[in-house]
Amino acid sequence: MSTFEALFTKQELNESMWAWIRPSYWLMNESYDKKWDARLRSLLAEGHKFQHNEQFLYSKAKMEAGDPVWIAAFGTKPKAYDVRLGDIDEIWIANHPYSSFIGREPRTGRPSRATIYLLKILLHRQLTDID
């Protein structure tokens, strides 16, 4: 095994090379949190899916009821800045990609760039009404 192979697993190498061709992922606001990254990947491997949290459901109900004050203040789309995944109630999904998929309570660092990319794709597939 070469020194290069010893330093990088195939997955780590692919993820680091992947980031070089996506400039929007070069700068990140949060520091990388290896434990958080592993936890999110573990939840996905266990088959957990993203779910709307209470904030989204509340805003959707206000819109559907035609609340004029709510619609004037927030527009015609439900607000969704957090989602649930498995036993984690609040995962920040706004500010993509530089500060998304951060745990809110307790506050965490960010997952890897490749995990952020994967989570965003899965989020859109599972919750298509979130931009």
For 62-95, letters b (16+ CB in 10 Å) and e give bbeeeeeebeeeeeeebbbbbbbbbebebbbbee
pLDDT in tens, 27-71: 888 899 999 999 998 998 888 888 887 777 777 777 778 777 766
Tell whether 84 is covered by a domain.
Answer: yes
> Domains in the chain: how many in total?
1
- pTM of the complete model: 0.70
Using a pLDDT cut of 90, give the percent of the chain over it.
Answer: 11
Domain of 71, in residue numbers: 31-126
Tell whether 15 is covered by a domain.
Answer: no
Tell whether 48 is covered by a domain.
Answer: yes
Tell whether 42 is covered by a domain.
Answer: yes
**What's the pLDDT score for residue 34?**
93
Tell whether 71 is covered by a domain.
Answer: yes
**What's the pLDDT score for residue 121?**
84
Residue 74: pLDDT above 70? no
Tell whether 103 is covered by a domain.
Answer: yes
Q: Copy the structure tokens of residue 59.
A: 């805003």
Tell whether 3 is covered by a domain.
Answer: no
Tell whether 1 is covered by a domain.
Answer: no
- For residue 47, what is the DSSP state? T
